[in-house]
Amino acid sequence: MSRWWRAGWPLLGKTLLAMINYPDYARYLAHHRHHHPERPPLSEAAFIRARQEARYGGGAGHTPRCC
């Protein structure tokens, strides 16, 4: 396997996850450590759940926004 392929593989994975708007827990942890050191961070499952609710809304009667 070429050196380029080994070096580019992690970047390709991050790019694909960003394209589907999958939340980056490692980036969240780095931000949280820097900006909010006094508070404990969310677990990975709670973080992903919170990001999904922020993106899609919560509750059964949620009406999608038009704009």
Select the more confidently predicted residue: 24 or 4. Answer: 24
Check: CB of residue 25 under 8 Å from CB of residue 47. yes
Within a domain: 19 = yes
Residue 31 is part of which domain span? 3-42
Within a domain: 37 = yes
Q: Please give the average per-residue pLDDT across 9-14, as a whole number.
A: 77
Within a domain: 21 = yes
**What's the pLDDT at 4?**
67
Select the more confidently predicted residue: 35 or 8. Answer: 35
Domain count, the chain: 1
0.75 exceeded by the pTM?
no
Residue 66 in this model has a pLDDT that exceeds 50: no
DSSP assigned state of 62 = P
